[in-house]
Amino acid sequence: MKHFRNIGIIAHIDAGKTTLTERILFYTGKEYTIGEVDQGTATMDWMEEEQKRGITITSAVTTCYWKPNLSSAIPTDSEYRLNIIDTPGHVDFTAEVERSLRVLDGAIGVFCAVGGVEAQSETVWHQANRYHIPRLVFVNKLDRIGSDFFAVLSQMSEKLDTCPLALQIPLGKEKEFYGVVDLIRMKAILFGEAMDDKTFRLINIPSDTLFIAQKYHEKLIETLSEKDDAILEPYLAGREIPLHNLVSSIRKLTLSCKITPVFSGSAINNIGIQPLLDAICAYLPSPLDLAPLCGLNSEINKPAFRKHSPDEYLSALVFKTMTERYGELSYLRIYSGQLEQGKTLYNPRTNKKERISKLFLMHANQRDAINSAQAGEIVAVIGLKNTATGDTLCDTRHPIVYERMVFPEPVVVIAIEPKTSVERDKLAFALSKLAHDDPTFQVKTDEETAQTIISGMGELHLEIIKNRILNEYKVMANVGAPQVAYRETILHSVEGQGTFNRKIADKEHFASISLRIEQDKSITKPSVHNLTDDATPKQFLPAIEDAIKSSLTSGRLAGYPLIYLKVSIISAGVHEQKSSEIAFSGAASIALQDALKKTPSILLEPIMKFEILTPEANMGDVINDLNKRRATIESVEMLGQSRRIHGKIPIAETFGYANVLRSITSGMGSYTLEPADYQPRLSGAASN
């Protein structure tokens, strides 16, 4: 297991993640030809929509092997097993990044040398921070006009709250970029010129680069000495520090997230791939480097721990499901124990047992059947019937539940309906499968119009869902235009009281509850707090909570879900014989509606953070257009001959913006959006 590396490739859209992954597959011998994103031949972008659009939509898993060959400071007697997840870069598919990071041990952040630290780069970086994932950075596209390796280092320090440590600097610049300088060994590395040439050679650092190489080598040693006493002592004494000591220090500081090693290259030109592969083996963690996992023993409701070891009781997390022609694939990260084909596991959430029919090692959409897998591996299984994304599977006699993932709420909705009654069942089947696979895609029926409403993270997300319904599931359907997923909240704190006293099926049911609801902008999803201590029997609390959350899905103002709400149970009336789950559920609903009647509600609209890249000559026109769209400009950055504009904008004003920006900038502009928060919708603002 010390040779396992579970890593993800994360970055902003178009930074070159998939191109880098394709080179890794080629250099490790997993693939014998290099797939290209622009040509639709990338192995990891296997979906039809990905190949057509040239972007990654769904995270893809693969396994390859690498034997380090550039650094004598790490063992080269064994191959390292790299389990890699290539993740999307578009904000609409942030859930794919979230669930991948949940099960990864390390990551490679890919930054464009021209664009630097872009909006989605920041988003995925902070996602990785939440899971305390050690990272390396690969500064890509150093062959492009306007590329600047050192500007990226500066942006990392300013925007990512990290300590970037350059282990390489580029040789040459822009079109003249031809290799890298290894700052640890102070050697230059040149790479084969032919596309299929895997060779490289070490040379002395050219004289025109030697001065800056010495400067950054000294900076490297200084940074390590500041953070590691093992380097500080020989540094202060003026002694030469052995290569293996430097590598050991870099590894230790990387694993503790105190530094982020930075590498340089051009994936499209096959520059810098081998050193990066060596660095993955040298600096990123194996499962054995990780602390034991903490979960919850669902039987006794107390913490439980599992070491990353095949000798422990089995536990695994389902981080992704995908429906295919041959059944449903569930992707697992095995944290402890061993998993064999035919084994029966336990799902604590559903309280049901699951049998593993088949076990696979995945390579994008290709699968290789295997008989068993162990702790530290990422595999896919067939045969799970009552398991969803985020569920824990474990040994039937030793239950454990790991923390589930939290996904953002959808912000865009569209209506969809079958063209004929014959298509109704096909549409329902397609929607249920897509919603099961994608936790940010939701389906509901409008009670007033009986229309089916689907919700997603943005225009592109729903556009791809629509195309999959029409083309992949062969459903003939009418699809409406995108609309905003509004929300509601209350203006004042208020209390409500509810009593349920009815006879149902010859049995009397009684309960009474007093509630207080108040606005809390730190809570995106309503939360329920019990202030009654022992006054409410614990067996009734789940029913009360479910009733409250169900009642909050439709507000009194316009029927939109309520957010930013904290609900507290103040008191409860209990009857020894008559109280039941039905009674407390009914009393909670009545109390909540009573409270909502006493306070006015307001409509909230989703606000997006935007980042727009535009030529300097078009900046005035772009800003004028943004002002008409109720946007707030927060900052403008200089980026060579371009300008990067940051700000916030209501999502209602962004529909169709891609075409508008393309027109203003003659096709030279680009933009990204990211959910920010919800704000009161101004009267007179554009509606759908």
> What pLDDT score was predicted for residue 684?
45
> What pLDDT score was predicted for residue 447?
67
> What pLDDT score was predicted for residue 437?
87
**Alpha-carbon gap, residue 594 to 127, rounded angstroms:** 39
**Burial of 209: CB neighbours in 10 Å, binned 0-12, 13-18, 19+:** middle
> What pLDDT score was predicted for residue 75?
55
**Alpha-carbon gap, residue 593 to 513, rounded angstroms:** 12
> What pLDDT score was predicted for residue 39?
60
| H helix or E strand, kind and range, residue 108 | strand 106-112
Q: What is the CA radius of gyration of the chain?
A: 28
**Alpha-carbon gap, residue 631 to 47, rounded angstroms:** 35
> What pLDDT score was predicted for residue 76?
59
**Alpha-carbon gap, residue 646 to 89, rounded angstroms:** 18
> What pLDDT score was predicted for residue 99?
86
Chain centroid to CA 397: how far? Answer: 32
> What pLDDT score was predicted for residue 686?
43
Of the chain, the end-to-end C-alpha distance in Å amounts to 54
- β partners of residue 189: 180, 202
> What pLDDT score was predicted for residue 683?
52
Going by C-alpha positions, the residue among 292, 227, 214 that lies closest to residue 261 is 227
> What pLDDT score was predicted for residue 95?
79
> What pLDDT score was predicted for residue 40?
58
**Burial of 190: CB neighbours in 10 Å, binned 0-12, 13-18, 19+:** middle
> What pLDDT score was predicted for residue 328?
84
Supply the pTM of this predicted model. Answer: 0.80
Handedness of CA 519, 523, 524, 530 (dihedral sign): negative
> What pLDDT score was predicted for residue 249?
95
- β partners of residue 368: 361
CA 277-293-253 angle, to 5 degrees, is 45
- β partners of residue 496: 515
Q: Which residues of the chain have pLDDT under 70?
A: 32-42, 45-46, 49-51, 53-55, 70-77, 91, 194-197, 325-326, 447-449, 533-535, 682-688
